[in-house]
Chain A
Amino acid sequence: MWCTYACGSSEHTISRRGFLAGAVGGALSSLTLDPFTRPAFTHELNKQQKRVLMIWLHGGVSQLETWDPKPGTKTGGPFQAIPTSVPGIHICELLPCTANIMHHLALVRGLNTAEDDHSKGAYIMHTGRRQEPAMKWPHLGSVCAKLLGSTDNPLPGYIHITPRGNGGVNSEDAAFLGPRFASVSLSDGHAPANLDRPAALTEVADQQRHEFRVHANQRFLRSRRTAQTEAYTNSYDQAAQLMRKRDLFDINKEPPCVVDRYGRHDFGRHCLMARRLLEGGATFVKVMHTNYDTHHENFDFHIEQLGEFDRPFATLIDDLHDRGLLSSTLVLVVSEFGRTPNINRNYGRDHWSRAWSIALAGCGIKGGSVSGKTNAEGTAVADRQVNGGHLFHTYLSALGFNSKKNFYIEQRPIPIADPKAAPIKEVLA
């Protein structure tokens, strides 16, 4: 059930079950409810093995201290703009390593999402939609897990590497796509819980007990097989496959010099883990770097946070490129919003969604391109204004999908991206 209206009232969200009105059959798990068995959508693209890397700069990174510097203006702050590997494109001096790989990146500088609230801004940037009371939209990660992933991939389709303290499965971000495509959070880049075989259990013994289990299941399921029992028995195979891939989560399997290159701090380690996961077949990996919500001492804190971001990010892009993966990996560097051009009394910048920037790279993206311009002081978009909907279209197009298509839930068409927006062609290859 979905409303095209933004009803404007709180507490008006529909759960996934709302779609199952009148559905028959005991097989009601999302696994059999495959919205893509409609002629409108094919799975051919799954075979081309694409993947997505989302860098989430949590708190709202300042566009003036990153992608759209305005040195020497009232709003520009103390930092200089530096040239990049692309003649004509300058970014903030705080991103020297990133400046060297600008030819891989595209910038969208005309972003206006008109939402200065953290969670609402984050919602827009994750789903390509404004928050609506009657409808929960799935995250890009869940959508990509669905469109790009395959059922025999043991890795969770949507992996979220977060700083310490946030872990687990967040089944709400998959919305109507179902919990199967929900993000799995890896707190502080630790592997999913219980991934290691208990010390006292040998591999042989584990194998033997699984065999015993399988035989028991075969007997039972001879006459009691349902979609739910299938899903349950399969989950052990998935778990076993994921256990075999346990090393993907261990960055210490990399040579020390590589760990050094990324940086021996959280974000560096997490970027390295993201690379391993992407190389290992992960479909969508989101890495969170926190925090950028610099209402106070914006400049000192951006020195610190971007100082952490710059090198591992550039290293990661370089590595993906060197390994031939960049052209099939869509990369986005996003935040919930930007920061005010106005500098407040505490050397801070506040929330600002009216004229800000994000960066893209990789699959389907035209490296070295820029879409949009802000005015001299960055107080408004001067050219090619776009919103979160346009970005979502752009991501899908970059991955090779027709972003104007629909999901089909219970035979009801649901546009995969906001129908009022379209891809930003200037940044597409």
Chain B
Amino acid sequence: MLLSRVLLRPQLALCLLALSPAVLFAEAPLHQRIDQAIAAAIPDFAHQSASPATDAEFLRRIYLDLTGSIPSAAEVRAFLQNPSPDKRVTLIDRLLASPEHARHLATVLDVLLMERRPDKYVPHQAWLEYLRSSVAANKPWDQLVREILSSDGADAKTRPAAKFYLERQAEPNLLTRDISRLFLGTNLQCCQCHDHPRIEDYKQAHYYGLFAFLNRSSLVVDKKLNMAVLSEKADGEVTFQSVFDPAKVTKSTGPRLPEGPPLKEQAVEKGKEYVVAPVAGSRSVPRFSRRALLGPTLASAENESFKRNIANRLWALMMGRGLVHPLDLDHSANPPSHPELLKLLADDIAARKFDMRGFLRELALSQTYQRSSEQSSPGKEPEPTSYTVALLKPLTPEQLAWSLMQATGLIDAERQALGKNATEAALYARLSPNVTPFVKAFGNPPGQAQEFDARLEQALFLANGAAVRGWLTPRPSNLIDRLGKISNTDALAEELYLSVLTRVPSAEERKEVTDFLTVRSKDRTAALQDMAWALLASAEFRFNH
């Protein structure tokens, strides 16, 4: 307790940060050290920063970030009325343990790793289930990555994990690019032909060092197994030249991480290179596999880029922006907004053995995360790297779809219909097809990272499209049905705002609802639909704040 008072002073906080992480770990939880680092970066941070988020703000934000959807009106009421001082921590823990969290984080990982590529070789359902069960079991990130990078698709039990390779046709250049981007936070794409012209840290040798893990691998449709699997040869060396090099010097490399040592390759007796020898129409398995080295080498606490990448991405997931931004351009000329903090986070997640759930918990507990998004100087957008104000995060296509289903009461109606069979899995199975049109309208083109875009086609989809319109049609126990049964406009306004915007309406808002219903007294149901739509289409709904 004494320590926490001392820590309020920025200078001392800085001194403490200079101590080794091991010492700090023993001293203060991660979430406090996060807040110290954030505060230390801005003079007069206390005055510059926004207040903590209200219960309502926090509630909506944590639900979206941990479960991918807004809460129900009942859950909002319960939380707001809950007097317990620990309710936020309790809620965080409850959500992290929920099946909805596993589903949500699995979806996030799916979009991150597969970037909405078509499902040609591994059905999406199988892959998502693999991710969901991994998250539910709190499988560490490094283990997950090792599994993904070592499955060849031949064993039915591990085949879903091979989707990362298979849907990319096991093409070594594409894999090198995506592995460097997604697992190391370094986009080495330009280094295929030369050292990166602008980024000194990214070298052609780095590219080909990664490439060398994969150059012997290929996709084969194995006739015996009757499916596409990875095949690997026992030979094949990697050489490269820079297109910028007039002398055209040819270099070579074996498998190695960027800035890592060359890997020792096992010598194999001549004539015994293969466990399964190459035959047309089937895969070959070498005795010594380069590809098998990739997972263990790359996904390790010793790999600085690997831990920085996951720490940065999970930070971005919760906070709205990576400390390194963009997420795949970590290099010395693009420093993180808070270099020491990133190092702290990277070391922390490695020290806790890549426990993502524990890490997310710490992020959620921080004041930085729980800060309000309300700008102190209205209209003046603060510097996002300051974290003086929480950042707005546009809902992902999936979050938007699920939140709309929740807000309109579709999920509640389906839950009622399923009765005692209303498990998360059952609800997901019934409702996930509704997500597809949203992915189509709001999702990134295949092979590209998800980004926010505001196109009029999306506005037309939300304004005139059948999906939302259908959900606003009254149906037993859905939003419009419930609202239709409330005659007191005050109570109606409350039910509306709690259901859609996860908060109680202001006096001004209650009046607006009353006025609207008065003007539209002749077609009350339509009026309810229109008000609900207006709030669903509002910026407040579209963004996670």
Asked if A and B form a direct contact in the complex, defined as CB atoms under 8 angstroms apart, the reply is: yes
A contacts, CB < 8 Å to B: 1, 3, 5, 7, 9-12, 14-15, 17-18, 20-27, 29, 133-134, 154, 156, 168-169, 171-172, 179-180, 184, 192-198, 200-201, 205, 208-210, 212-213, 215-217, 219-229, 231-236, 238-239, 242-243
Contacts A/B (CB < 8 Å), 15 sampled? A7-B192, A18-B187, A21-B326, A24-B385, A26-B320, A193-B465, A201-B526, A201-B530, A212-B534, A213-B537, A225-B378, A226-B381, A228-B454, A234-B454, A243-B460
Q: Pick the contact of B508: A219, A223, A243 (CB < 8 A).
A: A219
Quick one: which of B329, B451, B506 has the most chain A CB within 10 A?
B451
CA distance A198 to B465 in the complex (A): 8
The closest CB in chain B to the CB of A214 belongs to: B534
Shortest distance from the beta carbon of A227 to any chain B beta carbon, whole Å? 7
A194 pairs with B455, CB closer than 8 A? no
How many residues of B are in contact with the other chain, CB < 8 A?
74
The closest CB in chain A to the CB of B467 belongs to: A194
In the complex, chain B residues 433-470 whose Cβ is within 8 Å of any chain A Cβ: 440, 445, 448-449, 451-461, 463-465, 469
Q: For residue A1, which residues in chain B have a CB less than 8 angstroms away from its CB?
A: 190, 197-198
Shortest distance from the beta carbon of B136 to any chain A beta carbon, whole Å? 32
Stretch at the interface among B29-37, B171-179, B285-293, B346-354: B171-179
B contacts, CB < 8 Å to A: 171, 173-174, 177, 187, 189-190, 192-194, 197-199, 243-244, 320-321, 325-326, 329, 333-334, 373-375, 378-379, 381, 383-385, 391-392, 394, 440, 445, 448-449, 451-461, 463-465, 469, 506, 508-509, 512, 516, 519-520, 523, 526, 530-531, 533-535, 537-540, 542-543, 545
**Given A11-B177, A212-B531, A242-B460, CB of A198 within 8 Å of CB of B379:** no
Q: For residue A210, which residues in chain B have a CB less than 8 angstroms away from its CB?
A: 534
Quick one: which of B198, B384, B456 has the most chain A CB within 10 A?
B456
Task: A224-B545, A243-B464 are known; give 15 further A-B pairs, CB within 8 A.
Answer: A1-B197, A12-B173, A14-B190, A26-B384, A29-B454, A134-B192, A179-B453, A193-B461, A194-B457, A196-B464, A223-B374, A224-B375, A225-B381, A235-B459, A238-B459
Q: For residue A3, which residues in chain B have a CB less than 8 angstroms away from its CB?
A: 190, 193-194, 197, 243
B457 pairs with A169, CB closer than 8 A? yes
CA distance A415 to B138 in the complex (A): 50
A222 pairs with B378, CB closer than 8 A? yes
Shortest distance from the beta carbon of A246 to any chain B beta carbon, whole Å? 11
CA distance A238 to B456 in the complex (A): 6
A235 pairs with B456, CB closer than 8 A? yes
When A and B form their complex, which 7 residue pairs have the shortest distance between CB atoms, in order from nearest? A212-B534, A209-B530, A231-B454, A239-B459, A213-B534, A7-B193, A194-B460
B508 pairs with A228, CB closer than 8 A? no
Shortest distance from the beta carbon of B331 to any chain A beta carbon, whole Å? 9
Shortest distance from the beta carbon of B165 to any chain A beta carbon, whole Å? 14
B461 pairs with A194, CB closer than 8 A? yes
A228 pairs with B464, CB closer than 8 A? no
A10 pairs with B452, CB closer than 8 A? no
The closest CB in chain A to the CB of B463 belongs to: A239
Q: Pick the contact of B459: A224, A229, A236 (CB < 8 A).
A: A236
Shortest distance from the beta carbon of A235 to any chain B beta carbon, whole Å? 4
Q: Pick the contact of B451: A14, A17, A215, A227 (CB < 8 A).
A: A17
CA distance A198 to B453 in the complex (A): 25
A9 pairs with B333, CB closer than 8 A? no
B534 pairs with A205, CB closer than 8 A? no
Q: For residue B383, which residues in chain A have a CB less than 8 angstroms away from its CB?
A: 24-25
A10 pairs with B460, CB closer than 8 A? no
Q: Pick the contact of A242: B190, B456, B533, B537 (CB < 8 A).
A: B456
Q: Pick the contact of A200: B244, B454, B526 (CB < 8 A).
A: B526
Quick one: which of B460, B509, B535 has the most chain A CB within 10 A?
B460
B456 pairs with A232, CB closer than 8 A? no
Quick one: which of A17, A233, A235 has the most chain B CB within 10 A?
A235
CA distance A195 to B391 in the complex (A): 33
A27 pairs with B375, CB closer than 8 A? no
Q: For residue A192, which residues in chain B have a CB less than 8 angstroms away from its CB?
A: 457, 460
Q: For residue A196, which residues in chain B have a CB less than 8 angstroms away from its CB?
A: 464
B455 pairs with A228, CB closer than 8 A? no
Shortest distance from the beta carbon of A174 to any chain B beta carbon, whole Å? 11
B540 pairs with A220, CB closer than 8 A? yes
CA distance A184 to B167 in the complex (A): 28
A29 pairs with B453, CB closer than 8 A? yes
Q: Pick the contact of A180: B384, B455, B465, B509 (CB < 8 A).
A: B455
CA distance A331 to B385 in the complex (A): 48
B464 pairs with A172, CB closer than 8 A? no
Q: Pick the contact of B193: A17, A134, A197, A205 (CB < 8 A).
A: A134
Shortest distance from the beta carbon of A131 to any chain B beta carbon, whole Å? 15
A10 pairs with B173, CB closer than 8 A? yes
A21 pairs with B516, CB closer than 8 A? no
Q: For residue A134, which residues in chain B have a CB less than 8 angstroms away from its CB?
A: 189-190, 192-193
Q: For residue B506, which residues in chain A have a CB less than 8 angstroms away from its CB?
A: 219
The closest CB in chain B to the CB of A211 belongs to: B534
CA distance A156 to B455 in the complex (A): 9
Q: For residue B197, which residues in chain A have a CB less than 8 angstroms away from its CB?
A: 1, 3
Q: For residue B392, which residues in chain A have a CB less than 8 angstroms away from its CB?
A: 26, 224, 226, 228-229
Q: Pick the contact of B463: A26, A194, A215, A228 (CB < 8 A).
A: A194
A156 pairs with B456, CB closer than 8 A? yes
CA distance A168 to B512 in the complex (A): 37
A195 pairs with B539, CB closer than 8 A? no
The closest CB in chain B to the CB of A170 belongs to: B445
B173 pairs with A205, CB closer than 8 A? no
Quick one: which of A7, A11, A193, A208 has the most chain B CB within 10 A?
A11
CA distance A223 to B445 in the complex (A): 32
The closest CB in chain B to the CB of A180 belongs to: B455
Q: For residue B374, which residues in chain A have a CB less than 8 angstroms away from its CB?
A: 223-224
Q: Pick the contact of A215: B171, B192, B244, B512 (CB < 8 A).
A: B512
Shortest distance from the beta carbon of A6 to any chain B beta carbon, whole Å? 9
Q: For residue B379, which residues in chain A have a CB less than 8 angstroms away from its CB?
A: 222, 225
Shortest distance from the beta carbon of A149 to any chain B beta carbon, whole Å? 13
CA distance A243 to B459 in the complex (A): 11
Q: For residue B171, which residues in chain A have a CB less than 8 angstroms away from its CB?
A: 10-11
A235 pairs with B458, CB closer than 8 A? yes
Q: For residue A215, which residues in chain B have a CB less than 8 angstroms away from its CB?
A: 512
CA distance A414 to B334 in the complex (A): 22
B452 pairs with A228, CB closer than 8 A? yes
A227 pairs with B381, CB closer than 8 A? yes
Q: For residue B373, which residues in chain A have a CB less than 8 angstroms away from its CB?
A: 224
Q: For residue B461, which residues in chain A have a CB less than 8 angstroms away from its CB?
A: 193-194
The closest CB in chain A to the CB of B532 belongs to: A209
CA distance A21 to B375 in the complex (A): 27
A169 pairs with B538, CB closer than 8 A? no
Q: For residue B542, which residues in chain A have a CB less than 8 angstroms away from its CB?
A: 229, 232
The closest CB in chain A to the CB of B444 belongs to: A171
Shortest distance from the beta carbon of B502 to any chain A beta carbon, whole Å? 13
**Given A134-B193, A205-B530, A212-B530, CB of A21 within 8 Å of CB of B334:** yes
CA distance A172 to B448 in the complex (A): 10
The closest CB in chain A to the CB of B173 belongs to: A11
CA distance A239 to B459 in the complex (A): 6
B455 pairs with A169, CB closer than 8 A? yes
Q: For residue A228, which residues in chain B have a CB less than 8 angstroms away from its CB?
A: 392, 394, 452, 454, 543
Shortest distance from the beta carbon of A402 to any chain B beta carbon, whole Å? 27
The closest CB in chain B to the CB of A25 belongs to: B384
Q: For residue A209, which residues in chain B have a CB less than 8 angstroms away from its CB?
A: 530-531, 533-534
**Given A180-B455, A193-B461, CB of A217 within 8 Å of CB of B531:** no
CA distance A180 to B459 in the complex (A): 13
Q: For residue B449, which residues in chain A have a CB less than 8 angstroms away from its CB?
A: 15, 17
Shortest distance from the beta carbon of B242 to any chain A beta carbon, whole Å? 10
Q: Pick the contact of B457: A193, A213, A224, A225 (CB < 8 A).
A: A193
